Amino acid sequence: MIKSPLCYVLRLHPEIIGTPGRIGVLRELLLGIQQHEDVWIATGAQVARWWRDGAVQVTEDHPASVYERHYRD
């Protein structure tokens, strides 16, 4: 069980990943990721809405709380 949800951002540059030799690798990567039941593939806007709508109860030891305490001042 995951204590705190994690986010991985995959940045893709079309001039690099869009070449014939690499697009198949991307396809395989995404198919492999989609095989996991506990993975959500989303856009940045979808993640922002999810967070804004209170999908996570932020506790004192949650990474967002730790970050806020560290950079608040």
Domain contains 37: yes
Number of compact structural domains in the chain: 1
User: pLDDT (tens digit, 9 = 90+) per residue, 8-56?
Assistant: 888 888 888 888 889 889 999 999 999 988 888 999 899 889 888 877 7
Domain contains 42: yes
Domain contains 27: yes
* 8-state DSSP, 60: T
Place of tokens 């806020």: 68
Residue 50 has phi, psi (to 5 degrees) of -60, -45
Locate 36 and state its tokens.
């996991």
Note down the domain range covering 51.
14-72
Q: What pTM, to 2 d.p., does this model score?
A: 0.56
CA distance between the termini of the chain: 33
Locate 3 and state its tokens.
């204590």
* 8-state DSSP, 31: H
pLDDT of residue 9: 87
- Rounded to an integer, the average pLDDT of 54-68 is 81
